[in-house]
Copies of this chain bind each other. A is one copy, B any other.
Amino acid sequence: MFQKSHFNHQKYVICMFSKSRAKYIQQLSQKKHRNQSGVFVVEGHKSILEFIQSGHMPKELYVVKNSLFKDHDAWVVDSSQMKSLSHLKTPSNALAVFSIPYKSSPSNTDFILALDGIQDPGNMGTIIRLCDWFGITELVCSKDTVDCYNPKVVRATMGSLARIEVCYVDLNHWLSEQKDHMIVGASMEGQSIYETSIPKRAILVVGNEGQGLSALVSDQLHKEVSIPQYGKAESLNAAMATGILIGEIRRSQTIQI
């Protein structure tokens, strides 16, 4: 668990609250401003703690008076000032600005999840939380996948973003270079995940909510898998399908071991 004394030794850049600072932080809800500044926003005491515990150092930290951070090196704001900083309708008790981690290329771990054009921030956040539960440290995304530092994504990850490495690549090109992984696509037309085996070294690729996998990515697949349908729903939500597939892959790998 988190050590209070450890937290006390963190060093923050104390930024005073000002209207121009509020405008700057508000603009960080947009991807182009995040990319220009190389920073993103995390809101909420618990999520900020998860980033700090994972070794991320906040560049700015704002707290409301009655917050748990009140004894630490942070700028204390009142609730109306927090409202002017926050990206949320109901602001939290704390807001921090962190640097976007630099990541040149994905690591060569055994099991990798790849996303091909996931658009919904809630799905993206849920998938990052899933990765954190199932011990998948590597998430590779096509360039048109929603930005993982989008405030809605950050919020939906519930702090898990602090522990997952997310890399945006030319997915088709990157997959073409993966010679020692089986590339498995999630597809309604695929083999039942219950009746096929996935090796330890595999990349599971999940497509866009509406369109599924892009044609170029489909050409790279060694196998397609699906979740058997017993009822009449037309589809499962993309994050839910990802969870059920990963749950099943982890089970089969556990049994293999």
The CB with the most chain B CB atoms within 10 A, among A163, A194, A236, A240, is that of A240
User: By the criterion CB–CB under 8 Å, are B244 and A129 in contact?
Assistant: no
Residues A130-158 near B (CB distance < 8 A): 130-137, 158
Chain A contact patch, size range = 35 or more
| Inter-subunit contact B133/A231 (CB<8 Å) | yes
A132 shortest CB reach to chain B, Å: 4
Q: A237 and B126: CB pair below 8 A? A: yes
Binding site for B on A (CB under 8 A): 126, 129-137, 158-160, 163, 194, 227-237, 239-240, 243-244, 247-248, 250-251, 254-255
CB distance from A121 to the nearest CB of B (A): 13
| In-complex Cβ contact of A229 among B133, B229, B236, B243 (8 A) | B133
- Collect the chain B residues with CB atoms within 8 Å of residue A194's CB: 250-251, 254-255
Given contacts A130-B236, A247-B247, 13 further A-B contacts (CB under 8 A): A131-B231, A133-B229, A133-B230, A133-B231, A134-B229, A158-B233, A159-B234, A160-B232, A230-B250, A240-B240, A243-B243, A244-B244, A248-B248
In the complex, what residues of B have CB within 8 A of residue A248's CB?
Answer: 247-248, 251
Q: How far is the CA of A129 from the CA of B235 in the complex (A)?
A: 9
6 A–B contacts, CB within 8 A, in A order: A129-B233, A129-B236, A133-B236, A158-B234, A194-B250, A236-B243
